[in-house]
A = this chain, B = another copy of it.
Amino acid sequence: MSTVATNAAPAEQSRVQQFIRSSLQQLFVFAALIVVFVFFMIFAPNFSAGVVIPNILLQAAAIGTMALGATFVIGTGGIDLSVGTGMTFSAVMAGVFMSAEFMNLPLGLGLLLVLIVGAVMGLVNGLLIAYLHIPPFIATLAMMMVTRGLSLIISNASSIKIANPDYSAISNGRIIPFLSNAALIFVILGIIAAVILGKTLLGRYALAIGSNEEATRLSGINVKFWKALVYVTAGIFTAFGAILYSGRFGFVQPAEGLGMELQVIAAVVIGGTSLSGGRANIVGTMMGALLMMTLTVGLQMMGVAQQWQLVVTGIVVLLAVYADILRRQRASAV
């Protein structure tokens, strides 16, 4: 019958080969990152790799971590608008758990509780979306308002200081020379996220749901459960983001976070994850977050007026996504 035989697929590919191939797919956003970086090396005064790279990594760590979680959500075809204010809420709760004025809990317990707060936030999103069928946009928009309100209520609209130097060390310390712990944690969480996405049921089902929810359900998969779990996962990453973010300053500002969701989503999409679900790319997300942060830092160092920074960032985001689209079109047209 068929001549194009299914046939033993070209001898089992090695993992390394697979990884290289999938890295090549991510090449585009990586290329964009390099181009932007080199541009700034040339045109921004004092933009020297040695100083700037650790800095960009540190600054991108929090948003990048949140974007890791958002990659799963977007992979299911959902969206999480509450990621920014949810991050702030988790940070406020970190303050409540660990600052001297409030509960002053030991670090380990405090961190655990913060992660639980993130998970619960995600769970609420997940229940609303998976079990009550509220569209993700609306459910997480409502959560955005609610978490923002709660942050202000709980903190009494005051910033909270977490004096514990160990807390600060989570972000600012350097286990590895030249690389802040925040960046290290970001990379480790990125690897974990990549494993979850590529090698576990959670990741597999998340993408299946994003690809065809009904077909996934009819395959006997408990779609509601896994969808809710995806939001819980995202909530936990958000809480990690909150720890990295507030740890940097040892300080939490309860009114922050609004608008951050757009940066997070932009990082994910620039990284090649499809907003309609079914396809996701962790390494891409990480590159996306770095690209956004490199732009911010570089443009500022070039002394571009801030109004123009907005315009330029908008255009670069467009170019990055468009070039990626072109590349895919060409790839599938061959």
Q: Which residues of A contact B (CB under 8 A)?
A: 81, 128, 132-135, 137-139, 141-146, 148-150, 152-153, 157, 258-259, 262, 265-266, 269-270, 274-275, 305-311, 313-315, 317-318, 321-322, 325, 329
Contacts and interface: CB of A to CB of B under 8 A. Distances in A.
Contact of A135 (B139, B311, B315, B321): B321
Nearest to A310: B149
B318 A139 contact: yes
Nearest to A155: B307
22 contacts: A135-B269, A135-B275, A137-B265, A138-B266, A138-B275, A138-B318, A138-B321, A139-B318, A141-B266, A142-B314, A142-B315, A142-B318, A144-B314, A145-B310, A145-B314, A146-B314, A149-B308, A149-B311, A152-B306, A153-B308, A153-B311, A259-B259
A141 B262 CA distance: 8
Contacts of A307: 149-150, 152-153, 157
Contacts of A148: 310
Nearest to A269: B138
Contacts of A132: 322, 325
Contact of A314 (B149, B262, B269): B149
Nearest to A259: B258
Contact of A81 (B144, B149, B262): B262
Contacts of A309: 149
> How many protomers of this protein does the assembly include?
2
A134 B270 CA distance: 11
A275 B321 contact: no
A306 to B, nearest CB: 8
Contacts of A321: 134-135, 138
B266 A318 contact: no
Contacts of A145: 310-311, 313-314, 317
Residue among A133, A137, A138, A315 having the largest count of chain B Cβ atoms under 10 Å: A138
Given A142-B315, A142-B317, A325-B132, A269 B137 contact: yes
Nearest to A263: B141
A264 to B, nearest CB: 11
Contacts of A262: 81, 141, 144
A157 B310 CA distance: 13
Given A138-B317, A141-B317, A149-B309, 18 more contacts: A132-B322, A135-B321, A137-B265, A138-B270, A141-B262, A141-B314, A142-B314, A143-B314, A145-B311, A145-B314, A146-B311, A146-B315, A149-B314, A150-B307, A150-B311, A152-B310, A153-B308, A259-B259
Nearest 3 CB-CB pairs, A to B?
A149-B310, A145-B314, A149-B311
A266 B144 CA distance: 12
